[in-house]
Amino acid sequence: MKKVMILCTAIILAFAGIFAGCEGEKVRTPRVLPEDFRYEVQSNQHSVNYTDSSEKEISLYGMLWAPKAEGKFPAIILNHGFNGHYRDFPAECQAFAERGYVCYAYDFCGAQAGGLSTGRTASEYTPFTMKEDLRAAIANVKGLENVDETQIFLFGGSQGGFVTGLTAADDDVKEEVAAIAMYFPAFNIADDWREKPAQNTTLEGYSIDAAYIQSVRELYPFEVIGNYEKNICIVWGDRDEDVRRQYIDGAVEAYGEDRVELTVIPGAGHGFGGTALNTAVKTVLAFFEARTYEAI
């Protein structure tokens, strides 16, 4: 009888330990909005200020788009392409914010003509300084009072996709990023510059400094990006002459086919407009919504 009592006591204590271990843990519930539901959206200028690794005081200029409602929302940080600007994604920011996301689009510092971010010149920016900008943006957006810091998504186009992929793969960032989406990510950048002289040049009317070229010569993105182990969405047009199909296939292989949702838009090139843009926005929005949970 004594042995039975001891056994029962052990079982009770074991279950108590299990339940105690579960205490405080919250099960995440998928967020489901009615298909036709839209939030009213508000937008405001927002700067991110930080000190970079070279001790430069950087101020990133951008815009926040957010639901005009109380509560905490998931966030999407949008990263523009070569010689681009924070204003390059109006359709995306509006659509995403209407469906309950806080969106931050900003100028990479020094990475475009007429950019509004300050602290770095065109001769000083590289993909690695852009990574620093994105990391600073992530840290800042996580701290906003209307953002659910457990649900940070990244989005990038072309060079911005390249930087998004590299940044999300960092060991101290990858767990903070819920999922990433990219339009025609330019994973060809390193190969394009690898054999060219490290000297100042001009591309599409904007300066590329020798420091930029030198910085990517030893970079092999497909050996890096797979360190990000969550889900990825890639949207690409089959007439894209800037990012060739081999680099899209290379990204899928690096990430793993089971984790990548690839959408190929027939007839679209490097840049989406009209029907192709509508398809791209809907594709990315559906991808993010399938991975969005109620705030905790």
**What are the boundaries of each domain within the chain?**
39-289
pLDDT digits over 203-232, tens only? 877 888 899 999 999 999 999 999 999 999
Q: Is the pLDDT of residue 156 over 60?
A: yes
Q: Distance between CA atoms of 148 and 189, rounded to whole angstroms?
A: 33
Ranked by mean pLDDT, the top range of 2-16, 25-39, 65-79 is 65-79
Residues 6+ apart with CB under 8 A from 198: 210, 213, 214, 217
Say what the pLDDT of residue 26 is: 72
39-48, 119-128, 223-232: which range is least confident on average? Answer: 119-128
The per-residue b/e assignment along 149-172, b for 16 or more CB within 10 angstroms, e otherwise, is bebbbbbbbbbbbbbbbbbbbbee
Say what the pLDDT of residue 25 is: 60
Spell out the CATH class of 39-289.
Answer: alpha beta
Say what the pLDDT of residue 199 is: 84
Q: What is the 3-state secondary structure (H, E, C) of 147-201?
A: EEEEEEEEEEECHHHHHHHHHHCCCCCHHHEEEEEEECCCCCHHHHHHCCCCCCE
Q: What's the rounded mean pLDDT across residues 246-258?
A: 98
Q: What's the rounded mean pLDDT across residues 24-45?
A: 91
> 227: buried, middle or exposed (CB in 10 Å: 19+, 13-18, 0-12)?
middle
Q: Is the pLDDT of residue 9 over 50?
A: no
Instruction: Please report which confidence band the pLDDT of residue 15 belongs to, taking 50, 70 and 90 as the band edges.
Output: very low
Q: What's the rounded mean pLDDT across residues 98-105?
A: 98
Indicate whether this model's pTM tops 0.75: yes
Instruction: Please report which confidence band the pLDDT of residue 4 belongs to, taking 50, 70 and 90 as the band edges.
Output: very low
Instruction: Please report which confidence band the pLDDT of residue 32 belongs to, taking 50, 70 and 90 as the band edges.
Output: very high
Instruction: Please report which confidence band the pLDDT of residue 24 belongs to, taking 50, 70 and 90 as the band edges.
Output: low
Share of the chain above pLDDT 70, in %: 92
Say what the pLDDT of residue 12 is: 36
